[in-house]
Amino acid sequence: MSVIPSMTFGSSSIDGFSPSPISDSEYEFICKTVYAHSRIKLGGNKRELVMARLSKRLRSLGLKTYGEYCRLLGTPKGEEEMGDLIDAISTNHTFFFRENNHFDFLKQLILPAITMRGIDKNRLRIWSAAASSGEEAYSIALLLAEAFGTGGAVSWMIDCTDISTKVLKKASEGIFSTERLDPVPRAMVDKYFQKGVGEWEGFFRAKDEIKKHFTFQRLNLLGPRYPFKELYDVIFCRNVMIYFDKQTQAELVEKMTPFLKPGGYLFIGHAESLTGINHSLKMIKPAIYQKNA
């Protein structure tokens, strides 16, 4: 862990809770701490975002300055706070069928090929590596349910991981507002979701026949080892590497590749690329890569 900056910290306004701006040394300390625990690289352009998100943590903890928060992170209690820090910093922007051509490729090419090959006795495994609040994983599940049913001959599972326990909890609940479900065809909503009533009006909950196909667990993608016992037909790791430097991107791809089945696919975000990274995957389309069979 980085050394806590030694300096005098400014005061903040208690009324309306408006902490003094974060100092250069405090911001540097936060950046180094976040990088050490998540490998998320925060540049100077993220300073306002960090202040806005951490001000909520200060309010929750009863702290008045970012300096106090930095000192807290350097204490034994700081280890407990580390998860909340990463939760606060992590960007969890997602929606159903985001980057839709990936889902078209899955539906039109991958799933029919799996059906024809009868791969692994009709066991299909997909990993949503940065599942966030679940929209990506549930989008995948809807396509699998339509292709294979929810209790048919093909056994399919989606393992959902994220560094944020807060968004994983939301994902496991499978509850989405009407607005969040707007990109989903109405027939799918009616078929696979239950409409909320009373205090839950305006929300839909995924039916148990869909939810039984998920697992959820917190995972740091750059941690020492992955806990999986099976290989994956498809890994979705989208809009994650954009926050990493090249060295970290290369490390992540190297760690993930052994967990792909031969012929399996890796999806990354449209704003991401493996250009300049040593890897053994074949680019099928931009942001879609395949492991050699």
Give the bridge partners for 13, in sequence order: 18
* CA dihedral (95, 261, 116, 193) positive or negative: negative
53 is catalytic: yes
Dihedral angle over CA of 29, 219, 53, 17, nearest 10: -90
In angstroms, the Cα distances linking 17 to 1, 13, 152, 178 are 29, 6, 55, 33
Contact yes or no for 96/180 (Cβ under 8 A): yes
Contact yes or no for 21/51 (Cβ under 8 A): yes
57 is catalytic: no
Residues with Cβ within 8 Å of residue 198, at least 6 apart in sequence:
none
- Choose the catalytic residue: 53, 71, 205, 218: 53
Q: Which two tokens stand for residue 20?
A: 């003094």
196: three-class secondary structure by DSSP:
coil
Helix or strand run (H / E) with residue 158: strand 155-162
- Choose the catalytic residue: 39, 87, 125, 162: 162
Positions annotated as catalytic residues are 53, 162
